[in-house]
Amino acid sequence: MEGLSFHYMVKEEQSNKSSDVLDIVVTKGDLYLGKVPFETVSDFEISQVPLSSITIKRCSVKFGELTNDQKSRLEDFIQNHTTWMVH
């Protein structure tokens, strides 16, 4: 509920555009959260695609203040489309 991590691909010539909101789209879970405020916690390279200018990175973000609708949609998605393991 407080943030997420994701992998993404970057071409060498792409610039690092900075933003303070993101859109979260999950097609299989039927989730769309638009204009989610966030702060980047970490963003680093995890691998380079061989013989290519593409780099795979991992980004972790912390959500800012979510609207009640965004919170409700996120809670519904977590309850219905994720699994929890307790050790």
Query: Could you tell me the pTM of the whole model?
Result: 0.75
Place of tokens 């307790």: 86
Predicted local confidence at residue 14, as pLDDT: 62
| pLDDT band at residue 26 using 50, 70 and 90 as cut-offs | confident
| Domain boundaries along the sequence of the chain | 3-81
Give the count of beta carbons closer than 10 Å to the beta carbon of residue 74: 19
Return the half-sphere exposure (C-beta side, CA atoms, 13 A cut-off) of residue 14: 11
**pLDDT tens column, 27-74:** 876 789 899 999 999 999 999 888 888 999 999 999 999 999 999 998
